[in-house]
Structure 1
Amino acid sequence: MSLRRLRALVLGESELEPHNIHTSLSASGIPITTVDCRSCSNPCEEGHSEYPRRFTIDYDSTLLGSMKPFRRQIVISTGKSDWDFNITDTPDSLAASIALSQPPTPAPEPISIELDEKAAGQCIPGVFTSSDSTRLSILNGSHKTLSVEEEEHTVLVLPDYTMVVGVRPADAPELWRTVLDASLPRHGMTTERSAFSSYVLPFACVILLCSHKRRDNRCAISAPKLENAFIRSLEGKGWTAHTQLEHIVDPPLEKFSGSAEAKERHIADELRALPATRKALILRNSHIGGHKFSGNCVLYLPSGSCIWYGRVSTHEVESIVENTILGGLVLPTLLRGGMNISRPGCPTLHDW
């Protein structure tokens, strides 16, 4: 029995029904909106690109909780939008090298569930903090490396909201030790020099769209349509939408000469300034699970929040841009789960 199903049984199926999800999320300090996730009429009169007739989507299974918690998620530069079935099985790849560099995953602790009403009310499937798991989620991405040498990858590290430039497959153990180990704070080691060059991601939002055709053709169909819809919507609101990384002229974080505390403040100041840039990065990525809920869309914000949406079509993109990317509010109807989205006392996910 899955943890999601077990939680559903403990909470009672009614807790996961749509009319109660809004209440549960709001009571947990998650900034939500009750507006319709579809902003256009049905049938659509705005020219949004439709999925093919045989594009099947699961509307029967419970969406909320259909994802696995993780500590960090990385996106490795490949310049491609499709990959081998299992990216960590690709010989001599950075994904494979990082997977081999990880220590054995410890056996999960036995689950102890309180059956009292108070404890049950605090448990929302799919909603977690970055400290709730030690798992590293390894993805390949469509972005090209910023390094001159193609074998030196550029790796996005999330929710840290940084990118590490110049990583070869042979560097995987060092990347794990200084950046990816679950015991490290949000921005990795700050007390020693690194062999890499890392930077704060210079975007107000990162949008990941699963496009892994060798896993499921539905994501290969949905990703380009959603990408175009996001670009159209964002540019219509005065934003710039990028599908590749930009070269950064500022010195890397490794060159910062102050104390560890000063470096943390410096990074925090950079992150807080990012929403004003009105720039979004849109990448296609490898398998994240839940293809039956295509299109799959993952949003990262500089504040450290990660929002997973499923069953996304071009008709929902405008609402996602308006309410989540600009407004910092979660759309419960589309929510598969999220990291660091419970923010009691904060009106939006953009607040710190």
Structure 2
Amino acid sequence: MFRKFSENIISAAVSPFSSAPSTPAATAASSTLDIQSLSIASSASSHQARAKVERQLADELAKFGVPMSTEDCAGCDDHQEGCDESEGAGHVTHVQYPRGFDVDWDSDLLASAKPQPRQLVISTGRSDWPHDHTEDETTLSHHLNNALMKAAGITPAPPLKPDQGGKEKDEKALPPAPPPPPPTNPPGMIEITVGKDGLPQGIYEAPATQITPSMQDEPSPTGIPEQPGTMLFSSSLISQSHEGHRETVLAFPDWKVVVDVTNDERGAEGVLTDLVSRTEAQGDSARRTWTLPYRAVVLLSAVSNGSDPRLLGSHKRRDKRCHIAAPLLEKALCQSLEEHHVSVDLQGHSLSADHLEQAFPPLDQIPTDELPIEVEKRLRAIDAVDDAQGNGEVGIFRISHLGGHRYAGVMIICFPSGATLYYGRVSPREIPAVVKETLLGGKILSGLLRSAGNAVRPELVAEHGEEDAGKKIKTVCQRKGKTLLSW
């Protein structure tokens, strides 16, 4: 079926990339945005029509300074018209999802994800988790969730007992999800809504993340500095700590890894404090921070394959598409990246303290006033970080529930520049284009785009002659360069 892209005029909540504090338990205030619409129509009767619509969407987003790919290889049917089949039909990127793999092709994909300004990815060494992975009190995810609520002044509720609607109730089958709303536009219609900040809905600009001496005039009453909106993900990442009770945390768009984090309340609060404000003494001499060594990181939603008896059976049925898609996408990514001579890290071997300190000392040893320059120097030193041909290393990790499993396969792609992409409706057939155009070329495939953060490049606006739009965009974005690889 043809992929329709449209956005409707909405009454929007506060931008996910606002600086207001947000936690998994907090509710943002709402405000109405003045929105302007622009539409494009085309036929939807063939692959050529679908490709034409995707190119038109790419052209429209490019006018707002978003680096877009014009390649016509994303999601093509039966690998026709320009796709490279030199590897033969048995190539992993030609694998199709099994019969019955139900994907929502009717709902709008653009702006179907609402990311927070920051994503934290926590090591567990597993590849499946319950739907709410933060409920497991033995995990660092649980402690981080509680620390975020504490920073926002929210008291975490005690876990429910079975007779209060706890685990026994959860194990019952969930009611079926309501059907998606019917499409509001005719097939082939693209409608992009633009907010007051001059950016289309689904394209967000987050404040630059950096460590400062303090983000508050007075010490926080909770002992934890004010936090940006944060999403937590458990992951297949394996902690490389020499001590079994310590974990690893990846922070995006900070592009940092915190190693040897104690799996307790103190360790969780220390991570949040370290990422936002600098203290003279961290209190835990083993916890250290480095910039990530990868040229990109791909996070694949993988919940749940149901192999763990502790997981909820209802969630297995609900998210079976993700656990089917993730291993196929992972295999296709590995193969495509290796063809470009790009190494792949699936477990986090490159994140051991022993390996990281061979290149640089931990950031904790750098004076606060020298830190921004030092971080940028290390980012630019990442192997092949700006090489569109290949080489370097990409981290690929499976993560807990991402949301939007009806658009499976779904993934997050992060870059050292701070850009973050949410992709949906990805199958192994799209992976060569994802690797060539997005991971190596730093450009977005419009046919897969759910949302993008820190993806605007004002220099591109000038190329399209949108002078008024360019002036408005530059008020929310001062980034330079022409791809997601530059900052």
The alpha-carbon deviation at position 304 of structure 1 amounts to 0.8
1:78-89 map, 5 Å: 78-89=124-135
| Residue type of the alignment partner of 1:29 | G
Q: Which is helix-richer, 1 or 2?
A: 1
CA RMSD of aligned residues (A): 2.9
Against the structure 1 CA distance between its residues 148 and 255, is the aligned structure 2 distance closer, same or farther, given a 3 Å change threshold? Answer: same
CA deviations 1:249-283 (Å, max 9, x no partner) are: 41542453x53232221211111122516111110
CA deviations 1:295-332 (Å, max 9, x no partner) are: 01111111111111100000000001000111111111
Secondary structure of 1:130 counterpart: coil
Task: Kindly indicate whether residue 207 of structure 2 is the aligned counterpart of residue 131 of structure 1.
Answer: yes
Task: Kindly indicate whether residue 271 of structure 2 is the aligned counterpart of residue 175 of structure 1.
Answer: yes
Task: Kindly indicate whether residue 243 of structure 2 is the aligned counterpart of residue 218 of structure 1.
Answer: no
TM-score, normalised relative to structure 1: 0.85
Distance 1:241 1:19 in 2: 31
2:242 to 128, 131, 148: 148
Aligned to 1:201: 292
The alpha-carbon deviation at position 191 of structure 1 amounts to 5.5
The alpha-carbon deviation at position 286 of structure 1 amounts to 0.4
CA deviations 1:328-351 (Å, max 9, x no partner) are: 111111100011001111221111
CA deviations 1:26-45 (Å, max 9, x no partner) are: 12111111112438761585
Distance 2:272 2:336 in 1: 37
Aligned to 1:46: 89
Distance 2:194 2:39 in 1: 16
Secondary structure of 1:274 counterpart: coil
1:1-352 map, 5 Å: 5-6=10-11, 10-12=35-37, 14=39, 21-38=57-74, 42=78, 46-47=89-90, 48-103=94-149, 122-131=198-207, 134-167=228-261, 168-170=263-265, 171-179=267-275, 184=276, 189-190=277-278, 192-194=280-282, 195=284, 196-213=287-304, 214=316, 216-246=319-349, 247=352, 248-250=355-357, 252-256=361-365, 258-276=366-384, 278-345=392-459, 346-352=481-487
Matched positions, count: 333
Give me the identity figure in percent.
32
The alpha-carbon deviation at position 201 of structure 1 amounts to 1.0
Distance 1:19 1:145 in 2: 42
| Residue type of the alignment partner of 1:306 | T
Q: Is the 1:153–1:165 contact (alpha carbons within 8 Å) kept by the matching residues of 2? A: yes
Rg bigger for which structure?
A: 2
Distance 2:149 2:132 in 1: 19
| Residue type of the alignment partner of 1:46 | A
Q: Is the 2:127–2:398 contact (alpha carbons within 8 Å) kept by the matching residues of 1? A: yes
TM-score, normalised relative to structure 2: 0.63
| Residue type of the alignment partner of 1:260 | T
| Residue type of the alignment partner of 1:200 | T
Secondary structure of 2:323 counterpart: helix
Against the structure 1 CA distance between its residues 82 and 119, is the aligned structure 2 distance closer, same or farther, given a 3 Å change threshold? Answer: closer
The alpha-carbon deviation at position 50 of structure 1 amounts to 1.4
Distance 1:20 1:40 in 2: 16
| Residue type of the alignment partner of 2:369 | E
Gaps of 5+ in 1: 107-116
Gaps of 5+ in 2: 1-6, 13-32, 42-52, 80-84, 154-192, 209-226, 305-315, 385-390, 460-480
Against the structure 1 CA distance between its residues 21 and 159, is the aligned structure 2 distance closer, same or farther, given a 3 Å change threshold? Answer: same
